[in-house]
Amino acid sequence: MAEALQRDAVVSSEAEPLILVDADDREIGHASKADCHDSHGILHRAFSLFVFNGHGELLLQQRSAEKRLWPGYWSNSCCSHPRQGEGMREATQRRLQQELGLRCALRFLYKFEYQADYGELGAEHELCSVYLGRTNAPVHANRNEVAAWRCVSPAELDREIAEYPERFTPWLKLEWRRLRHDFNEDLAAVAA
């Protein structure tokens, strides 16, 4: 029972301090998660993880219905923010464990800036670092963060995004397009 309670713990809040950055990823201050996502967003540091299993399938998660932005949308394995005073390595491992109960080695691929509005409810404006990983460990999803999860082949994800783009988060679509175009060999290696 303790494992289930820990696995479903509340692991983020609108008050947590995020790291504000400039376009060159230089830290320029801090603001609450709520403030960072209000209006058209304030540029802050973030990360996206793409974790594959031993069958070459990508772990996707459906965002909780309780999420302020893009609730119920399908997204990459894990995405979040380092908190004030936290390095990227520590943050990625913390969040992977908190959301999915997983640990795995992660390899940095690239960083990019994007901005996406979610109607009147707010926006993402992030300088996002993208990582690849691989594990065969079982998923133990935190129900406060993840409504559902599944594993898909790269070809299946390509098909689903082309057929039903409205089901996926904007950052997943941007990142996946770049991964397939510029990092296909890296994908093939981690999915092998």
- Is 124 catalytic? The answer is no
Return the ∠ at Cα 93 (arms to 25 and 11), rounded to 5°: 95
Instruction: Tell me the CA distances in angstroms from 62 to 19, 42, 104, 148, one per residue in order.
Output: 25, 25, 20, 5
**Per annotation, catalytic residue among 79, 104, 124, 175:** 79
The pLDDT tens digits of the residues spanning 10-51 come to 667 778 899 999 999 999 999 999 999 999 999 999 999 999
Model pLDDT, residue 163:
98
Domain boundaries, the chain: 2-191
* Helix 170-182 / helix 154-163 crossing angle, nearest 10 deg: 130
Block means of pLDDT (10 residues each) for the chain, 192 residues, are: 48 83 96 94 97 96 94 97 92 95 96 95 96 96 93 97 98 97 91 74
Say what the pLDDT of residue 1 is.
29
Position 9 scores a pLDDT of: 67
Rounded distance between C-alpha atoms, residue 129 and residue 99, angstroms: 18
Identify whether 14 is a catalytic site residue.
no
Contact (Cβ atoms closer than 8 angstroms) between residue 73 and residue 166: no
Taking each helix axis as running N to C, give the angle between helix 184-191 and helix 170-182, from 0 to 180 degrees, rounded to the nearest 10. Answer: 90
Task: Give the chain's length.
Answer: 192
pLDDT of residue 188: 87
User: What CATH number belongs to 2-191?
Assistant: 3.90.79.10
Query: Pick the catalytic residue: 124, 126, 145, 175?
Result: 126
Per-residue pLDDT, 5: 36
Tell me the pTM.
Answer: 0.93
